Amino acid sequence: MTIFSTMNKLLKSPDASIENGRLRSAQSFEFLAGAILCYAAYAAAAGTFQAGGASIALAILKIPMIIIASVALCVPSFYVFTAVAGADHSARDMATLLSAFCGIAGLLLLGLMPVTWVFSISSRSLAFVVWMHIVVWLIAIVAARHYLVRLTGSRFGLAIGCWITIVFLVSLQMTTSLRPVLWRAPNQPLFTRAKMSFFEHIGEVWTWHESKATAQVVKGAPR
């Protein structure tokens, strides 16, 4: 219940994570756990694009992994960018800020989940759903950026904006590295070893066709 009440508080009064001008570090774990639950719920909706429980499980496994790994990889840059802008965050402050960022992004994804679910179950184009998820993810992290700026102060706006851009790019490449996420051909392994850049991956998604993609995997072409 603690996780839900903390997330509820984060949703209704985001500033409640500040107490006497300091961040309340005790909530980091709840924010992060709540965020992962939100990502999993969003992933379950996203996984309905390809009918079947296996594809939902695949999305639930990978989408939280993509987001958490991307943010984790950008922790050093968050610390240095905000420090260069004049912040003096302790490790606890950093943990609270970043977990609250993940929490806000998660809540927004949860809010948009019904919309993505409707489109996921009815769409047949992978390109459409991929672009939809990119736009939804952008909305979530831009809103979470506003929250971070509200917590830290407007003078950190530029530094946090640069950091968000890096997180966004890393999340695109992380998705490519952990593919397949939304659609998996029969007998395709859970993780792909072949290296690929995210813009090449997006280009491939753009020309995607289910029967062609299945045939490529059956033939053993790298994907």
Dihedral over alpha carbons 124, 129, 132, 133 (to 10 degrees): 160
Q: Which of 220, 183, 190, 187 is nearest to 204 (CA)?
A: 183
Q: Tell me how far, at minimum, the Cβ of 203 lies from other proteins, in Å.
A: 11
Query: Do β-strands 18-19 and 22-23 pair in parallel, antiparallel, or remain unpaired?
Result: antiparallel
For residue 156, the 8-state DSSP code is G
- Interface with other proteins by CB under 8 A: which range of 3-11, 57-65, 172-180, 209-217? 172-180
**Binding mask of the shown chain, residues 79 to 98, with x at each position contacting other proteins by CB under 8 A:** xxx--x-x------------
d(CA 100, CA 4): 14
CB of 87 to other proteins, least distance (A): 12
**What is d(CA 30, CA 210) in angstroms, rounded to the nearest whole number?**
40
Binding span for other proteins by CB under 8 A among 122-130, 148-156, 181-189, 190-198: 190-198
Residue 117 within binding range of other proteins, rule CB under 8 A: no
Mask for 200-219, x = binds other proteins (CB under 8 A): x-------------------
196 contributes a contact to other proteins by CB under 8 A: yes
Smallest separation (angstroms) from other proteins to the CB of 66: 12
C-beta of 50 vs 176, nearer to other proteins: 176
CA distances from 88 to 80, 82, 111, 160, 162 (A): 10, 8, 33, 14, 18
Residues 6+ apart with CB under 8 A from 199: none
Q: Contact positions toward other proteins, by CB under 8 A?
A: 73-74, 76-77, 79-81, 84, 86, 162, 166, 169-170, 173-174, 176-177, 195-197, 199-200
